[in-house]
Structure 1
C-alpha cells in the first residue's frame, strides 16, 4: 500500500500474471481504473474463468477497467461481455431509444442528439440502480461514437472518498441511510464493499427523497431536515469532487471502440458537462450502456427495513420526505435528470 491513503496500491502481480497467461495485459490508470489489452471481447465466453475473476477483483479495487478493443464490438459482443461480472445476468430498467440496434431492451443508448440517443442523462454523482434493493453490481459503457472535442465520464472511488472524510463525518455517515425517491428503497450511506472490504460511501444525488439518521446514543431514528439534507448532499458532492485534486477521481475520455466496465459498488459516476453539449460544439456522441443484476441486497443496518413508504405521509414533519421524480433538490441551479 502506498503511504498516501487516497492512493490505490499497484495492480496485484498474481492477478496480472493470470491475465498475462491468457495473452492479456492490465495496467493501472492514474489515479484510478485500469486498462486491459489483449483480451478479445468479441468472444467473451472464451475468456478463462480465472481471468474473469482476476479482472473482476481488479475492478473492485480500482473501480473500473477499460478494454482498448482492436476489433469492433457488436452490440451482442458488448452484452455478452457485460454478464461476465457480478450477478452474471442483465437487469435493464431503462427506456429504449428508436435508434437502439434491433430495439434491444438491454441497451441504453445515450447521445447529445436526441435523434440518435437519449440526451442529458446522469449529470450528478450517482450509482445506477439505487431504486433496487440489490443495486446493479456492474455497468458497462461501449462508446459507439466519441465526441471529437471531449465528452467522457467522471468516476470517483467511493472507498478512497470515505478514507478522505474527517473522522467525525466517517462516524456520522455510518449512521445515515438514504431513501430512494422513486421506490422507497433504503440503502446505507456507508457500506463495506463485498470484494475489496473497503468502507465506501454511496448516495444518489438525483434520486434521494429522504435520509434517516440512527440516533447516536439511543434507539430510534430521525429524518434530516431540509437544511441538513442540503448540507449532506453538498458535502457528498464536494468530497467526490475533491478526488480530482487528491487522487481518487478521474475524468475519463473515451477512445474509439473503448469498452468500460465499472464496479457499481466501488465507484460513483456522472456524465462530464461536455458530454451534454450540443453537436455543433462537441460533435456527435453516442454510447451504449448495460446494467448487470445485483449479487446481493445493499441492506441497511440497525433493524431498518429495506423499503419504506416514501409516497405516504411523513413520519416526522420536521424532516424531508419527498417521493417521486428526481427527489430532493439540494441545489437550485443544477440539472437533476438521471
Structure 2
C-alpha cells in the first residue's frame, strides 16, 4: 500500500489496496492515515452494497437512514446522493459542512463510493478545519475560543472543536444549518458565518475531487468539511455514502468490537 499526501496540505491518496480484502494490518494503517491526514482518496474500487458496508466498518459502526424514494431497499446504511431524484437525494450540501453536525454527538467519519460518474459537474470540495483554525489571526482565535453555535434544530456545538483523539482544535461550523452564534445578534451571527464561509474557501485551502467510477473518499468530519458543487439532471451521477456513528468510531475504546 502506497500513501501519497495530496498537494493541498491535507488528505492522502492511497494506492495498491483493495478495500474488500483489507487485513488487520492494512485496516490499522488506513485508520492511522485518516487520523493524520483527515481524508483518504482510494481509486479503482468495486463494491456491492454489502462489500461497501464491510469496507466502511473498517472505521467503525454505521448510522442508518430512512428508506425513501431513490434509496436502496434493504440497505438503510447507504445514503444515495444523486443528480436525479429517482436515483437518490438531490441538491444536497451545496455549502461547507461536516456530515451529521446537527447531531448532539456529531458524525465523525463519512465514506463515499462513486457508483455512477457524471460526465460534467458534481465535483466535491474539501477544506481542512484544523488548518482553518490555525490560520486565523491570533485575536480572532481568542474571540472564537469562547463561542458556541446553534443549529436550526437547537443542537449546540463549540465553534472551536477539539478532536476527541488528537486534541487538535478545528474551526467547526455548518454554513447552511447554523441558526446563529450564542450571545450574538442575528446580524452579528450572519457576519461571522459569512466570514467563516469565505475563510474556508480561501485561496489554496481547498481540494476539488473529480469523481471517477470506483472512487472512494473517506473523510474525518471533525478534521475536514466538504461542499457539493452544482450538477444538472441532464447528466447522471450517483454516490453511495455511509457514515460512522459517534458511539462506535475507531478512536473510541471498543469501537472495533461494535463495528464487527
Of the three residues 190, 198, 202, the one matched with 2:172 is 202
Alignment match, 1:235: 195
Q: Give the TM-score taking structure 2 as reference length.
A: 0.89
Instruction: Give the secondary-structure state (helix, strand or coil) at the position aligned to 1:109.
Output: strand
Structure 1 distance, partners of 2:27, 2:158, is 29
Alignment match, 1:320: none
Alignment match, 1:188: 158
CA deviation profile, 1:52-104 (whole Å, cap 9, x unmatched): 2332222123221011135x21111111111211xx11112x44343433341
Report the CA distance between 1:296 and its aligned residue: 8.6
Q: Give the TM-score taking structure 1 as reference length.
A: 0.69
Alignment match, 2:89: 118
Give yes or no for the alignment of 1:67 onto 2:19.
no
Is there any run of 5+ residues in structure 1 with no aligned partner, and where?
A: 1-23, 213-222, 298-338
Structure 2 distance, partners of 1:173, 1:105, is 37
Alignment match, 1:6: none
- Write the mapping of 1:10-159 to structure 2, written as runs, cut at 5 A: 24-31=1-8, 32-44=10-22, 47-48=23-24, 50-70=25-45, 72-85=46-59, 88-92=60-64, 94-159=65-130
CA deviation profile, 1:141-172 (whole Å, cap 9, x unmatched): 11111111232211100011111111111111
Of 131-140 and 288-297, deviating more is 288-297
Structure 2 distance, partners of 1:265, 1:123, is 18
Alignment match, 1:278: 232
Structure 2 distance, partners of 1:99, 1:43, is 29
Structure 1 distance, partners of 2:14, 2:229, is 23
Normalized per residue, which structure has more strand? 2
- Write the mapping of 1:162-311 to structure 2, written as runs, cut at 5 A: 162-182=133-153, 184-212=154-182, 223-242=183-202, 245-246=203-204, 248-273=205-230, 277-280=231-234, 283-295=235-247
Alignment match, 2:255: none
Is there any run of 5+ residues in structure 2 with no aligned partner, and where?
A: 250-260
Contact 2:70 2:89 in 1 (8 A): no
What count of residue pairs does the alignment treat as equivalent? 248
Report the CA distance between 1:295 and its aligned residue: 4.3
Note the aligned Cα RMSD (angstroms).
1.9
Structure 2 distance, partners of 1:78, 1:66, is 15
